[in-house]
Structure 1
Amino acid sequence: MKISTKINLLTTAWMIGILIVANIVIFVSFMKFTVSMEEIVLVQRAKDIIDELNTYGTQSNTRDILKDNLTSHTLIRMIRPDGSIEEQVTNDRHLTGLKGKFSKKPQVEQRVIRIRQGEKQVLIVRRPIIINKNVVGTIEISERLLGLELRKDMLIFILTITTILAGLLALLGGRWLANTIMRPIAEMIGTMEKIERSGVPQKIAIPADKKDELQKMAATFNRMIERLQTNMEKQKQFISDASHELKTPLTIIKSYASLLRRRGTSNKEIADEAITAIDSEASRIQKMTDTLLALATLENEVVLEKNVIDLAKLSMEMVRNFTNVYKREITLKVSDPPVIFEADEEKIKQLLIIFLDNALKYSANKIEMEVEKNENSIRIVIKDYGIGIPAHELANIFERFYRVDKARSRSTGGTGLGLSIAQSIVKLHKGEINVTSTEGKGTTVELRFPL
């Protein structure tokens, strides 16, 4: 069953249920109010009859007094204490079948009699006749509630008609409401189906005047589509960049392999040159593949192998190794060692290697490194005085295969993936990277990790 049909049926059923409950309350209240009004009238008439009998009544004119107080479809009786009827007058023969009852206290009773036309409501009022503080009889008035029956039938008819009309209106209103609610969802489904058929992400048009949950859902869908489009563009760019990066070494390998096939190995100088070039480019491809696999692993990694490490000790070890290998000046400043925090030691090493290696590649002067710890975070700063990065290039340096100095890329041996790996490592540790640079003066990298 469609959601729109469910909404339509549920709203209609709910509305009809409310109307039925309201109709029952109205009907019961009307019946009680009407019977109460009739009761007040009959009680007053019984009092008037008793007063008239006490004032003017004699044995000869009692019947006349009772007749004078008859109304339509009424029976009036005087009942002795022994239950016998002293006097009785009526203009409705159907009421004579009701048994009289002597009562020392005022009573009101509602009965039902059956006649050819069906069941009829009868209201009975009894009032004691008191003389010299003694109850000498009872006045009993029985009256058919013809007005009540007529009004009851009319009320039932009106309530039935209004309930049916309200149900039809609720059905139409529920359909309109369901269509109003489902329209944005239907548009979203249509857009999804178009995306499924074409494979091209599309956004949903959002009316500017609507500010509801459906608008929020559509906006969320559009943001998801934007992210998908961005990821697709990045994927296309990555494939293009990776193909370009692999094309160069493969072309070189193929060229030298063709040279060896033509010339053979008779010319030792050419053979050595070809073998060296093929080995170099093969190593380059292997290095690039290993780097890509490392990057993919980092992006899919959720749980780190964290241990408590001393960052000051680790930094000293890294600086000592780089100094011994590259014979370059690297200064390290540590504020208040040891600097203890919880992290994945191997990935922090890889992070430091990436930034120290970049600093050494693009700077001929000394490298400065600082490790600092405060109450909330750990700060690592690596500063070089090399060629720097142009301001307009800073926003792109963490993209895969992106190189600022493309002319020197092959001489420095970089793949353009180091900073992407570094960014992934920092994100896994919930840290931040801030790079500032001035072209021709150097670059400063600031890493912050929360404690």
Structure 2
Amino acid sequence: MKITTKVNLFITVSLLVSLLIVNTIVFFLFMKTTVNMEAHLVFKNANEMLKKYHISESLTLDKNLLNSYMPSHSFIRIVGPTSTTINQVTNDKVLVQKISPTFSTEKNFELRPFQEHQNLVVHVPIHQNHKVIGTLEISERLSGLESRKDVILSIMGTVTVVSVLLSFLAGRWLSAIIMKPIVSMISTMEDIEQIGTLKKIGIQTETKDEVYKMAATFNRMVSKLKENSDKQRQFISDASHELKTPVTVISSFITILRRHGTQDETIAKEAIEAIYLETNRMKNLTKTLLSLAELEGSEPVDIKSVDLVSLSTALVTQFMQVYDRPIILHENSHSIFIKGDELKLKQVLIIFLDNAIKYSTDVIEVFLESDQHKGILRIKDYGIGIPEEEQSHVFERFYRVDKARKRDSGGSGLGLAIAKNIVNLHKGEIDIQSKEHAGTEIKVTFPLTN
């Protein structure tokens, strides 16, 4: 069953049930109020009769007086303590035969159905010397009640039918409005399934309701999927391009070896050396690609308290020993504890220090600072710098500012992308400021431990 049908059916049935409940309550209240009003009038006439005319202990009363208070299709009788009729006048002999006399010591009334009509029977006790000596019983056919009951039932029935019809039409209209973006979403999904191309839902009006939010969320999801798909295609293209060069070189030298053999020692040595270098390049590139893929698909890092000062001091010392380059460490505190994975944080420092060494020949400075909420790492070199138009792309995969120099230095264009992913995993922020031929400064912030 379609959702529109379910919504329409639910609205219609709910309204019908509500109308039936309300109509039932209204009908019973109407009947009760009408009968109470009729009974009030009869009680009023009975009280006037008892006050105006004295009734002796024999319970006799002039019948002419009783007739003057008797409406059409009714009777008036005086009933003794043994429920026997003492006096009685009537203009409906059938009615008086069907309703037997009843002695009552309390004032009350009741409805008795007879010949498709409701008959009101009122009992008023007759007091004398603080004692009930009899009962004045008056019965009246409520002819107008039936007609009024038929009128109100016909009105209720008409209102119910019209309301259900309007509810049905309104339900269809409301369902169409609610389902319009959902139908559009289904159509878009079917198009995506058939043609395999991501596309968004067309949202014409901004209604700010749940359906609009669902469509907007779907569009954001499509944008994200498209972005990831584009990145994946770009990644595959870049990786293929990067692997194509060493494979081509290796294939070329193998062809030379097959053609000339190993008799020419110079050619053989050159070919073996080239194959060795390109094989190492492929191995390092593959390792880097796997590392990047692992970072992007991994679970959240194992967060622990890491002393940024201790970690940086150890790495700076190692780099100065290995590369014999001056690296100055500036710190405003003996320890700065940040939240992170020590091995991954170490990898970030290695990537930035390695780039600083590759692209500068002067001193390198490392600054460690902290405030109330974050630890700050700044690595500054005074090398070739990065052109301003290139700075927004340096964290993209395989991107090279100086492609020729970076290839000579063994770079794959993935180091900064890996560093960026690690920083993001640690909920940190990374910023780069550089000026061509003046140097580059990388600023990284991490949350402090509590």
For the criterion TM > 0.5, the same-fold answer is yes
Q: Could you say if the C-alpha distance between residues 124 and 307 of structure 1 is closer, same or farther in structure 2, counting changes exceeding 3 Å?
A: closer
Q: Which runs of 5+ in 1 are unaligned?
A: none
Contact 1:123 1:143 in 2 (8 A): yes
**Partner in structure 1 of residue 358 of structure 2:** 361
Shift of 1:108: 2.4
**Partner in structure 2 of residue 77 of structure 1:** 77
Distance 1:50 1:348 in 2: 107
Contact 1:110 1:121 in 2 (8 A): no
Percentage identity across aligned positions? 47
Q: Could you say if the C-alpha distance between residues 344 and 113 of structure 1 is closer, same or farther in structure 2, counting changes exceeding 3 Å?
A: closer
**Partner in structure 2 of residue 246 of structure 1:** 243
Q: Alignment partner for residue 416 of structure 2, among 415, 419, 427? A: 419
Shift of 1:388: 0.7
Q: Could you say if the C-alpha distance between residues 141 and 381 of structure 1 is closer, same or farther in structure 2, counting changes exceeding 3 Å?
A: same
Shift of 1:14: 0.9
- Equivalence map 1:162-173=2 (5 Å): 162-173=159-170
Please identify, of 338-347 and 234-243, the stretch whose mean Cα deviation from structure 2 is larger.
338-347
Task: Answer yes or no: is 1:63 the counterpart of 2:60.
Answer: no
Distance 1:334 1:61 in 2: 122
Q: Could you say if the C-alpha distance between residues 290 and 133 of structure 1 is closer, same or farther in structure 2, counting changes exceeding 3 Å?
A: closer
Q: Could you say if the C-alpha distance between residues 2 and 250 of structure 1 is closer, same or farther in structure 2, counting changes exceeding 3 Å?
A: same
Q: Which amino acid aligns with 1:210?
A: T
Distance 2:285 2:160 in 1: 77
**Partner in structure 1 of residue 40 of structure 2:** 40
Task: Give secondary structure in 2 for the equivalent of 1:54.
Answer: coil
Contact 2:339 2:426 in 1 (8 A): no
Shift of 1:168: 2.5
**Partner in structure 2 of residue 28 of structure 1:** 28
1:51-94 CA-to-partner distances (Å, cap 9, x unmatched) read 44339xx9998111112222111111123445432221111123
Please identify, of 379-388 and 58-67, the stretch whose mean Cα deviation from structure 2 is larger.
58-67
Shift of 1:351: 0.9
Task: Answer yes or no: is 1:382 the counterpart of 2:383.
Answer: no
Contact 1:39 1:108 in 2 (8 A): no
Shift of 1:95: 2.0
Please identify, of 308-317 and 235-244, the stretch whose mean Cα deviation from structure 2 is larger.
308-317
Task: Answer yes or no: is 1:399 the counterpart of 2:380.
Answer: no
Q: Could you say if the C-alpha distance between residues 178 and 132 of structure 1 is closer, same or farther in structure 2, counting changes exceeding 3 Å?
A: same
Distance 1:15 1:69 in 2: 48
Shift of 1:131: 5.8
Distance 1:395 1:202 in 2: 27
**Partner in structure 2 of residue 102 of structure 1:** 103
Q: How many residues align?
A: 445
Contact 2:206 2:212 in 1 (8 A): no
**Partner in structure 2 of residue 177 of structure 1:** 174
Contact 1:304 1:344 in 2 (8 A): yes
Q: Could you say if the C-alpha distance between residues 235 and 360 of structure 1 is closer, same or farther in structure 2, counting changes exceeding 3 Å?
A: same
Shift of 1:43: 1.2
Q: Could you say if the C-alpha distance between residues 142 and 321 of structure 1 is closer, same or farther in structure 2, counting changes exceeding 3 Å?
A: same
Task: Give secondary structure in 2 for the equivalent of 1:416.
Answer: coil
Q: Alignment partner for residue 299 of structure 1, among 291, 296, 300? A: 296
Q: Which amino acid aligns with 1:44?
A: K
Task: Give secondary structure in 2 for the equivalent of 1:338.
Answer: coil
Distance 2:70 2:101 in 1: 17
Distance 1:330 1:336 in 2: 18
Q: Could you say if the C-alpha distance between residues 212 and 134 of structure 1 is closer, same or farther in structure 2, counting changes exceeding 3 Å?
A: closer
Task: Give secondary structure in 1 for the equivalent of 2:54.
Answer: helix
Q: Which amino acid aligns with 2:269?
A: D
Q: Could you say if the C-alpha distance between residues 349 and 60 of structure 1 is closer, same or farther in structure 2, counting changes exceeding 3 Å?
A: closer
Q: Which amino acid aligns with 2:110?
A: Q
Distance 1:69 1:342 in 2: 100
Q: Which amino acid aligns with 2:124?
A: R
- Equivalence map 1:117-266=2 (5 Å): 118=116, 120-130=117-127, 137-266=134-263
4+ residue runs over 6 A deviation: 58-61
The alignment's C-alpha RMSD in Å is 2.1
Task: Give secondary structure in 1 for the equivalent of 2:433.
Answer: strand
Q: Which amino acid aligns with 1:31?
A: M
1:23-64 CA-to-partner distances (Å, cap 9, x unmatched) read 011101101110011012111221333344339xx9998111
TM-score (norm 1): 0.93
Contact 1:108 1:123 in 2 (8 A): no
Q: Could you say if the C-alpha distance between residues 257 and 62 of structure 1 is closer, same or farther in structure 2, counting changes exceeding 3 Å?
A: same
Task: Give secondary structure in 1 for the equivalent of 2:53.
Answer: helix
Task: Give secondary structure in 1 for the equivalent of 2:383.
Answer: coil
**Partner in structure 2 of residue 87 of structure 1:** 87
Distance 2:205 2:239 in 1: 42
Task: Give secondary structure in 2 for the equivalent of 1:433.
Answer: strand
Q: Which amino acid aligns with 1:102?
A: F
Distance 2:131 2:332 in 1: 114
Shift of 1:133: 6.1
Distance 2:352 2:224 in 1: 29
Q: Which amino acid aligns with 1:35?
A: V
**Partner in structure 2 of residue 111 of structure 1:** 111
Distance 1:363 1:211 in 2: 54
Task: Answer yes or no: is 1:289 the counterpart of 2:286.
Answer: yes
Distance 1:59 1:305 in 2: 105
Please identify, of 138-147 and 167-176, the stretch whose mean Cα deviation from structure 2 is larger.
167-176
Distance 1:407 1:133 in 2: 126
Q: Which amino acid aligns with 2:343?
A: E
**Partner in structure 2 of residue 433 of structure 1:** 430
Distance 1:113 1:301 in 2: 83
Distance 1:362 1:449 in 2: 26
Task: Give secondary structure in 2 for the equivalent of 1:277.
Answer: helix
